[in-house]
Amino acid sequence: MSEMVSPGARAFWDRSVAGRLALFEALRARPAIEFHAESAGPGFWSVVGYHDVVTVSHNPEVFSSAQGFTIDDVPAEIREFAMSMIAMDNPRHRYLRSIVQSAFTAASVRSITDRIRGHAHRIATDLPRGKVFDFVDRVASRLPVQVVCELLGIPEQDRPRIIELAGDVIFNGGEDFATGPGGAAGLAQIYGYALELGERRRAEPGDDLTSALMKPTADGQSLSASEFGSFVILLITAGFETTRQALGWALHLLSAHPGQFRLLHSDFAAHIDGAIDEVIRYASPVPYMRRTATVDTELGGVRIRAGQKVVMWYLSANHDPTVFADPGRFDITRPNAARHLGFGARDIHHCLGANLARTEMRVMLEELLATHPGVRAVGEPELLLSAFISGLGSLPART
């Protein structure tokens, strides 16, 4: 049987979207899940089918997060300060999530929707009329960073530096190809900034999430300085980048499928939720998460040994034809699009900011179409060369 290209290799991602999806289709067709070698690691199992991904997600006792969530192994001291709740198991994960999750409930997000709309309206009205511009830079990048910085109470004058540091982390310090976040210097600087911000808000509280997290709850719970620093890294990097990519993919996919765009235009309220789910299903801005087997176990027709890495490829699972009929078709009326795993598999690590991301997408697209009904992507996107972010580096558009 021929050797398959590893999804952890540059050769896999140095292809078109269709080429990447075709390789995942070939992996799903194999009789058992594949083990892929690493140039600087012990290798990993690729879990590519929808049901197998759900199985791994829903069994944290067997498939642990505590050894890291990226293909590359990360030293324990970096995991401790940089990887936050994503790289934890219960009970510590449950404890930390219980402190911060109230800020991300549907009700909490509704309470800040007017502020999100204000940002989105200004972004839409600032766009040039009749000229080509980069949608990723002028729209998709601007809204999520404004929302996250405002949520945390980061002063306006500090935001450009935070954006720069987040980019350094997300794009692995400028490396050509990445399988995980990098930019250690950027991580350290965000962490240091968060510690200073936390201390300022502890001394002088404001109306922001940082102030709320610095204040003990009724039962005396609060984040330690280091826990808060790790949480800020998570929120700035993950909260910024995933929503940015989802917005970029939304315009690209809708423009590439004009009938779907017309349908959304015809009744925005009726179709926007389905459109958001279908964009996230199709594009999967976070292509994978990793777990580590805690015991010998069986999955996908193979025996997995304790200590081996298991990588859940959400991008592949979201194109599994046993769940999504004709998965290569972009269809905002797809009846089961909400079953996508783009925010995780509704497990203990399900995306904390899913409500916020959906609201940002809904509001930004609504403001954009109200202000510029004819907005379209007018060229092919530049694809990021990354296994960790399924994203667009740029997207030419015109109002």
**275 or 170, which is more confident?**
275
Q: Tell me the one-letter amino acid at 143.
A: L
Residue 230 gets the label, from left (phi > 0), alpha (psi -120 to 50) or beta, of alpha
Say what the pLDDT of residue 321 is. Answer: 98
Q: At a CB cut-off of 8 Å and minimum separation 6, what does 357 contact?
A: 144, 239, 242, 243, 246, 343, 351
pLDDT digits (tens, 9 = 90+) for 230-242: 888 888 877 788 8
Say what the pLDDT of residue 254 is. Answer: 98
Q: Tell me the one-letter amino acid at 231.
A: F
- The residue whose two tokens read 């315009």 is 251
Residue 254 has which token pair? 């809708």
Q: Which of 285, 299, 284, 283 lies closest to 44 in space, CA to CA? A: 299
Distances in Å between the alpha carbon of 233 and those of 84, 194, 335? 8, 8, 36
Query: Where does the pLDDT of residue 109 fall: very low under 50, low under 70, confident under 90, or very high at 90 and above?
Result: very high
Using a 10 angstrom Cβ sphere, with 0-12 exposed, 13-18 middle and 19 or more buried, the burial of residue 326 is exposed
Query: Where does the pLDDT of residue 222 fall: very low under 50, low under 70, confident under 90, or very high at 90 and above?
Result: confident
Largest CA distance in the chain: 65
Residue 181: asked if its preceding bond is cis (omega within 30°), the reply is no
Report the pLDDT averaged over residues 342-349.
94
Q: Which phi and psi (to 5°) does residue 38 adopt?
A: -120, 150
Say what the pLDDT of residue 374 is. Answer: 95
Which parts of the chain are beta strand (E)? 34-38, 41-47, 63-64, 132-134, 288-293, 297-299, 302-304, 309-313, 376-377, 382-383, 392-394, 396-398
Q: Which phi and psi (to 5°) does residue 133 adopt?
A: -140, 165
Say what the pLDDT of residue 174 is. Answer: 54
pLDDT digits (tens, 9 = 90+) for 29-70: 999 999 999 988 999 999 999 999 999 999 999 999 999 999
Q: What is the DSSP letter of 380?
A: P
Task: Give percent of the chain with pLDDT exceeding 90.
Answer: 68
| Strand-pair partners of 396 | 134
Average pLDDT, the chain: 91
Say how far apart CA 353 and CA 336 lie, in whole Å: 21
Establish how many alpha carbons lie within 13 A of residue 307's alpha carbon, considering only the half-sphere containing its beta carbon. Answer: 2
Say what the pLDDT of residue 270 is. Answer: 98
* Residue ranges covered by each domain of the chain: 10-398
Query: Where does the pLDDT of residue 305 fall: very low under 50, low under 70, confident under 90, or very high at 90 and above?
Result: very high
Say what the pLDDT of residue 238 is. Answer: 78
Crossing angle of the two packed helices 258-266 and 268-283, in degrees rounded to 10: 140
Q: At a CB cut-off of 8 Å and minimum separation 6, what does 309 contact?
A: 41, 42, 43, 44, 45, 67, 71, 290, 291, 292
**Which of 180-184, 227-231, 304-308 has the highest mean predicted lDDT (pLDDT)?**
304-308
Q: Which phi and psi (to 5°) does residue 63 adopt?
A: -120, 100
pLDDT digits (tens, 9 = 90+) for 162-208: 888 877 777 665 567 888 876 677 788 888 999 999 999 988 988 88
Gyration radius (Cα) of the chain, Å: 21
**334 or 40, which is more confident?**
334
- Which of the residue ranges 97-111, 289-303, 327-341, 351-365 would you say has the lowest mean pLDDT? 97-111
Report the pLDDT averaged over residues 10-27.
96
Report the pLDDT averaged over residues 93-110.
89
Report the pLDDT averaged over residues 138-167.
88
Say what the pLDDT of residue 183 is. Answer: 65
pTM: 0.94
Q: At a CB cut-off of 8 Å and minimum separation 6, what does 197 contact?
A: 152, 153, 154, 210, 232
Say how far apart CA 193 and CA 154 lie, in whole Å: 10
Say what the pLDDT of residue 172 is. Answer: 60
Fold assignment, 10-398: Cytochrome p450 (1.10.630)
Query: Where does the pLDDT of residue 2 fall: very low under 50, low under 70, confident under 90, or very high at 90 and above?
Result: low
